[in-house]
Structure 1
Amino acid sequence: MPVLLAVLLLVAALPLAAAEVPRAWEREFPATDFSNAAVPLDEIMSGGPPRDGIPSIDDPRFKPASAITDLSPREPVIGLTVNGETRAYPLRILHWHEIVNDTVGGVPVAVTYCPLCNAAIVFDRRVGDRVLEFGTTGKLRHSDLVMYDRQTETWWQQFTGEGIVGALTGTELDVLPSRLESWAEFQERAPADAPVLVPTDPAARDYGRNPYAGYDTAARPFLYSGETPGGVEPMMRVVALDDEAWTLPLVRERGRVETDGGHLITWRAGQASALDAARVAEGRDVGTVLVSRDGRDVPYDVTFAFVFFAFRPDGVLHTLDGVVRAEDGGGG
């Protein structure tokens, strides 16, 4: 058998995932087990920055809410309460760092924000007897942040909290209830001494500037080639609860939506879009969505329609014009 043919046959016999691992990935992540993957590796692409090029915040600094003077009332923050302890994480900071490794109410948490998906999600960092610390891979899948943990170098999908490549593939992080709310709304409900995240080095970034100006009114998402069902704009905000979602125009028009699953979705004006104007504080009003069940906050996400259908291909979207499913035909 010719040597070249033998080599080609050997390569063809390798698992697809192993044959497609870029050498640059192996150099960046020498401890990642790329042979163990839950998704096709060709769905993952570089977002531009290298590993930790968008640096996570691992030793967060805080000031009491009463001492904060640079946030406007409409600016968006992630409000988090765990075991009676409440903290706020402004998106003007998460724009530049995307992940904050913190401990709140005795629980190790990862406060995450993917600007390209407008996905603000908080995870419990505990997996079994391990406490993980997360960083950014510099990679995207379906335009969503791919995180990694520094203990096993497993890669994690931020929108789903699932390990997708590496030793912990298939493991799902627990999602904690949080609120994407305006600074004024956080101040209304939180103690005056509630900790608020501040930059570790205020001079390192222009933390009031929006590096994604105009993104949420763009015609197409960044580095995404999929489609959304006909009649649904890919960048339309939706309120996602597992495999079901409601468009923001629907929730805004009704003010409150009671779901068949017993959830209450409410909307009120007063929160700036973090992805609109050149300065975060000047973004157009997209309002604040809250989701509860039996009077208690539950995990939810205010994201874009393309994200919902990319990660929930069997999902159902409620719109002003009725119900839309992925099989209803390609669009935007």
Structure 2
Amino acid sequence: MNDSNESVMNVISVLPKDAIPSIDDPTFGDEYFGEPDDEVLVVEPGDKGAPARAYPIRILNYHEVINDAVETADGDADPIAVTWCPICGSGVVYDAAVDGRRLTFGVSGKLADDDLVLYDRETDSEWKQSTGECIAGELAGDRLRVRPGPMTTYAAFREAHPDGVVLQPESEGSAAANGYDTSGYETYEEREAFGLRGMRGEGPEREWNRDDLDPKTVVLGVTPADGGALGFPRPIVEAAGGVVEATVGEAAVVVLATDDGLHAFEQPEFELRLEDGSVSGDGVTWALTTGESNDGRRLRRVETRRLYAFAWQDDHGPRSFYSL
């Protein structure tokens, strides 16, 4: 919940509905056409026999939502929505079901506080991408459940998951034909301006009244299922030596910053240490892309979303950041 008490959510229309096409029948393969340091969202299915899946941000920039399903341990398939807002740098994976009802999502063409507004095709309700909250329509007030979906590099994904698969380009369309060009999105990341105006050069210019964080500082937002919300800015975690422990709501968590991304797990009963790019604890080494140790144990990943500081502050207020 936003604790600033200063403004009401600003929703505007910027494109026709579905002008940005979702991917509704994704295909996966072993090969990737991009670069090793490209960022990907990772989903690990509940069925340990099924391969992990990587969803490249290079492709998500042009589609913003992937409707998919992943295998469960009992052989069923859970619907998921892999979502991305380029303006907010916001990557979140959701369970695509509310009260047992499967939903499929598209891009509404609207922005809520510069964040992507999704709509579901079953009820035409509208959902704020960074929070998973339904903000208009039949399902208003409902909220999608976040599932672990860490963002890392393709190289780290491939090293951790040699049998993993990667989302393949759509076979048609100019975006696929030009290799899902990232130059325009990289230019936005480098600009001081943020929000719609920073991306497209139009819309109101936004203010940023704090000097401890830049508006496009990368934040890992931890939002446990039992409540609470705390954003961990990458520079703050790095300043602490790459490892911080905190309590979010009733959950004790540990957050780590490594070369391949930000990671959050339930705090184990031992201390994790980051040394020379390697994470150790309890006498073993831990791979953060999987949360697995070299003796077969596994850390439990918590629900997170990766986004820019301005978007996290829009959703949760200026006092919702972890600080040393």
Q: For the superposition of Structure 1 and Structure 2, which TM-score range results when normalised by the shorter chain?
A: 0.7 to 0.9
Deviation at 1:74, TM superposition (A): 1.0
Structure 1 residue runs of 5 or longer lacking an equivalent are 1-38, 270-286, 323-332
2:14 aligned with 1:43, yes or no? no
Structure 1 equivalent of residue 181 of structure 2: 209
Percent identity between matched residues is 32
Distance in 2, matches of 1:129 and 1:296, equals: 25
Q: 40, 43, 50: which is aligned to 1:77?
A: 40
Structure 2 equivalent of residue 90 of structure 1: 56
2:219 aligned with 1:238, yes or no? yes
Deviation at 1:245, TM superposition (A): 1.6
2:84 aligned with 1:117, yes or no? no
- Aligned CA distance change for structure 1 residues 69 and 89 (closer, same or farther; 3 Å): closer
**After the TM superposition, which residues 266-281 of structure 1 pair with which residues of structure 2 at under 5 Å, given as runs?**
266-269=256-259
**After the TM superposition, which residues 143-292 of structure 1 pair with which residues of structure 2 at under 5 Å, given as runs?**
143-192=114-163, 194-201=164-171, 204-205=174-175, 206-210=178-182, 211-223=184-196, 227-231=207-211, 232-242=213-223, 243-253=229-239, 254-261=241-248, 262-269=252-259, 287-292=260-265
Distance in 2, matches of 1:225 and 1:132, equals: 35
Distance in 2, matches of 1:227 and 1:107, equals: 41
Deviation at 1:215, TM superposition (A): 1.4
Distance in 1, matches of 2:206 and 2:173, equals: 38
Q: What is the aligned length?
A: 259
Structure 2 equivalent of residue 55 of structure 1: 21
Between Structure 1 and Structure 2, the one with more helix by share is 1
Is contact 1:155-1:166 (8 Å) kept? Answer: yes
Deviation at 1:191, TM superposition (A): 4.0
Deviation at 1:230, TM superposition (A): 2.0
Structure 1 equivalent of residue 65 of structure 2: 99
Distance in 2, matches of 1:174 and 1:76, equals: 23
- Which is greater in Rg? 1
Is contact 2:32-2:166 (8 Å) kept? Answer: no
Deviation at 1:313, TM superposition (A): 1.7
- Aligned CA distance change for structure 1 residues 202 and 182 (closer, same or farther; 3 Å): farther
Structure 1 equivalent of residue 279 of structure 2: none
Q: Which amino acid letter does the alignment assign opposite residue 240 of structure 1?
A: G
Structure 2 residue runs of 5 or longer lacking an equivalent are 1-6, 72-76, 197-203, 224-228, 269-298
Distance in 2, matches of 1:257 and 1:82, equals: 27
Structure 1 equivalent of residue 314 of structure 2: 310
SS in 1 for 2:81: strand
Is contact 2:146-2:304 (8 Å) kept? Answer: no
Distance in 1, matches of 2:173 and 2:321, equals: 42
CA RMSD after TM alignment = 2.0
Could you list the per-position Cα deviations for residues 156-183 of structure 1 after superposition, in whole angstroms to 9, with x for gaps in the alignment? 0000101101000000111110110111
- TM-score, normalized by length of structure 2? 0.75
SS in 2 for 1:260: strand
